[in-house]
Structure 1
Amino acid sequence: MQKYDFIIAGSGLAGLSLAYYMNQTILREKSILIIDQDTKTKNDRTWCFWEKGNQNPFDQIVHRKWQKVYFHGTNYSDTLDLGEYSYKWLKGIDFYNFVRTDLATNPNIKFVNERIERLIDTPAGGFIITTENQYLGEYVFDSIKPLRLDLDDCHNMLQHFKGWEIVTDKPVFDPACPTMMDYRVEQQGVGVRFMYILPESPTRAMIEFTVFSDSLLSPTDYDVELHRYIRDFLKIENFSIEHEEFGVIPMTDEPTPQHIGEHVIRIGTAGGYVKASTGYAFQRTQRFTQELVRNLVTVGKPLHEPKKFRQRFKELLDSTMLNVLLKNRASGKDIFTALYKKNPTPRLFAFLDEDTTFREDLRIMATVPLGAFTLGLLDALRKRI
């Protein structure tokens, strides 16, 4: 059996972010093992997020950034001024390569490509059995545990998306301004559907079809919607597909306890890093993994701060949004249109980042359909009780 100070199960966004921040502190002197069956050598995902200035260490590998975005909703289209914020596009492969290059300078950090078959907490430490070896860590950070997504007293949706990076024969894109959300696509069933466009040049862009719903579409449905949008809204007849990506992110208020025993700590989706009502995870992951590292350095344990009233209130708002969408209490398209039409974009970004005050939260919630959200709030409270 091989023993390590820290073992990170999974080398995705959460696992690599945690390892990166460890490597910037005295924790770099500890033995660290990262286990993942995937080598992360493909550009398998896109992260888009907003941020004030250049606050994270990955800004140097941001693929594109913008100070304004297009928005298309219900009878409303506008160019949104982001104020102090920038809207940023980070490619998965650039993130993987950047972090792995940084970690490769530390001989105390080891990667193994193995499939984890069992991960448990024991009195001696976090114990992992893979297809090839057994490992024991003083602390194991688990990002691979799947959520159940079937609890009756929880709200469970999926954010699923397919994107094409296309090249056109004529200039049609505005490289200075992406389309952050376009709700003009046909809305069907539970949830909401929208497109977004990340332009690289007048003739090249990533076009992503995103759905919030309680189930996936058939594989061909994503292609049909992308073709329709490119033809009918962008008026593009000739193009080639240079890259494809597909992903599924759980949007759920399922409880995500982070401490599983004394030695196993869940991170990433398993640890509740994904914001339930939007599926955004990049900035929350940076915030939470830095908190873990800070506590390891200062008190020697990966403690999490107890939830305060504001955090619990924001979680209740997330549950309310999921309830409204799942129960079709109001059109998701109309809800998001109202939010972006009636609120300054910087204030809304701060709200989605959970950086607003209780009073600011109430001001923003006053701009959504109050009847639908009141019913959703009462139902969400009933489920919790």
Structure 2
Amino acid sequence: MQDADVAIVGAGAAGLSLAHALTSPPGAGRVPSLVVVEPSSSGLRPPPRTWCFWESGAGPYERAVGASWRWLRVYDRRGRAVVRDISPLRYKMIRSSDFEALVGAHLDGLPGVRRAEGTVERVRAVGGGAEALLTTAGGNRLTIRARWLFDSRPRPLPPAARTLLLQHFHGWFVRTRRPVFDPRVADWMDFRVPQPRHGMAFAYVLPTGPHEALVEYTQFSARALTPDAYRAALLDYTGRVLRLGEFDVTSTETGAIPMTDGRFARSSGPAVFRIGTAGGATRPATGYTFATIQRQSRAIARAYRAGRVPVPPRPHRSRSAAMDAVLLHGLDSGVIDGADFFPRLFREVPAVRLLRFLDGATRLHEDLAIGLHTPVLRMLRSAAALPALPRRHFVDPPAPPPPPPPAGAPPGRPGIRGEM
């Protein structure tokens, strides 16, 4: 049995961010004894992926930032481009492996911080705190007790909701033969791809050099695609739209993010709290999660140091959640055309204000002004339909597996060579 002030179940973005916030800077305020529980089996860990967010200046994870951009570009379906300078913000990309290495090195050097590996069988509140029951890789049982326990494991099913869409995606890290990318500009949303009947689809391009970029295809829809369908979509986009010529795929990423107006519980007991996506940190209408996790982690750390109950704050304001519910239902029902909606906002709303809006940091009068740049009648139609919709449990479609390397691909290079 191990005892600690705080136990964190899960060592992904939410778990490691909270561990970092509770111990940064070392020695500041009340620093807890801490146990971070991570899966012992690689099959239970989320696959490597990238996280994107915007912030001003250098953040706490700056050394893990693989690339950042001052300029964002959006293409509508007709190919019209709008480019915006988002300074003083920067749009930043972190790869999960770099984030884990940075935070892991920070934690490994601190006294009172321990790691535990195993499959979590049960989390429950007990007298004076909480405990997690684990089975280690060797088959041993381990009990970890803590005053406070934070659980970031994905929920088996999302909460009852009126609307559930998936933001599902597959991306290629590409290296081209000729210089085709402008590393100063990130293509934030590119709607020059075929649109599904319900929801929407777009691509984005995050260049890290003239020859290198992450090219990703994304859909907001009810179900994920097959590996072959993602591959076909990316071949079409890199060939017909980007005209990359010959290129190599050096690595890939695949995933699915639930986008729902369900009400996420922030605790499952007096001393057991849910964090990250499991606690509703994903912004329902956009899928952005990383920045909300950071705000959530800092708030928990402040409460702990002040001696208060460190319950996670509500991840999104009620006003933001209500607007997201209207947009989600509009996209799902087809009342709102996402391929027109998002380019219009980017074209008509100042970029920094729009990003602050997506972060839930705008005031009421700013929200109302932004609302005037949406299809108002269609939004009202979607809003009017919501009260009659029942909240129900959806079966959460699993994220698709990453497609296997094609025959003949070089070992360790999970990609393709394309001539487009």
Q: Give your verdict on TM over 0.5.
A: yes
> Any idea what SS the aligned residue of 2:306 has?
helix
Partner of 1:172: 180
1:2 Cα offset (Å): 2.4
**Whole-angstrom distance in 1 between the partners of 2:96 and 2:359:** 21
Partner of 1:148: 157
Share of identical aligned residues, percent?
Answer: 31
CA contact (8 A) 2:22 2:32 kept: no
**Whole-angstrom distance in 2 between the partners of 1:254 and 1:333:** 24
Partner of 2:328: 322
CA contact (8 A) 2:159 2:263 kept: no
Partner of 2:126: 122
> Any idea what SS the aligned residue of 2:178 has?
coil
1:28 Cα offset (Å): 6.8
**Whole-angstrom distance in 1 between the partners of 2:256 and 2:29:** 33
Shift in alpha-carbon separation, 1:312–1:150, aligned structure 2, 3 A: closer
1:296 Cα offset (Å): 0.6
Partner of 1:373: 379
1:213 aligns with 2:213: no
Partner of 2:398: none
1:240 Cα offset (Å): 0.9
**Whole-angstrom distance in 2 between the partners of 1:192 and 1:36:** 35
- The farther-off stretch of 1-10 and 93-102 is 1-10
> Any idea what SS the aligned residue of 2:283 has?
coil
* Count of aligned pairs: 381
Shift in alpha-carbon separation, 1:363–1:381, aligned structure 2, 3 A: farther
Partner of 2:257: 249
Opposite residue 155 of structure 1, the aligned amino acid is T
Partner of 1:70: 73
CA contact (8 A) 1:28 1:106 kept: no
1:384 Cα offset (Å): 8.0
Unaligned runs of 5+ in 2: 136-140, 392-420
Opposite residue 215 of structure 2, the aligned amino acid is I
Partner of 1:183: 191
Partner of 2:417: none
Opposite residue 358 of structure 1, the aligned amino acid is L
**Whole-angstrom distance in 2 between the partners of 1:276 and 1:323:** 11
1:381 Cα offset (Å): 3.9
Opposite residue 74 of structure 2, the aligned amino acid is F
**Whole-angstrom distance in 2 between the partners of 1:38 and 1:172:** 42
CA contact (8 A) 1:178 1:198 kept: yes
Opposite residue 104 of structure 1, the aligned amino acid is D
Structure ranking higher in helix proportion: 1
- 5 Å-filtered alignment, 1:73-112, equals 73-75=76-78, 76-112=80-116
1:8 Cα offset (Å): 0.2
Partner of 1:9: 9
Partner of 2:402: none
Unaligned runs of 5+ in 1: none
CA contact (8 A) 2:77 2:193 kept: no
Partner of 2:236: 228
**Whole-angstrom distance in 2 between the partners of 1:91 and 1:150:** 29
> Any idea what SS the aligned residue of 1:63 has?
strand
**Whole-angstrom distance in 2 between the partners of 1:42 and 1:306:** 25
1:31 Cα offset (Å): 2.0
Opposite residue 19 of structure 2, the aligned amino acid is A
1:116 Cα offset (Å): 0.8
> For 1:266, which of 246, 270, 274 is the aligned residue?
274
- The farther-off stretch of 253-262 and 350-359 is 253-262
CA-based RMSD of the aligned residues comes to 2.1
Partner of 2:292: 284
1:379 Cα offset (Å): 2.4
**Whole-angstrom distance in 1 between the partners of 2:73 and 2:337:** 21
**TM-score, structure 2 as length reference:** 0.86
Opposite residue 267 of structure 1, the aligned amino acid is I
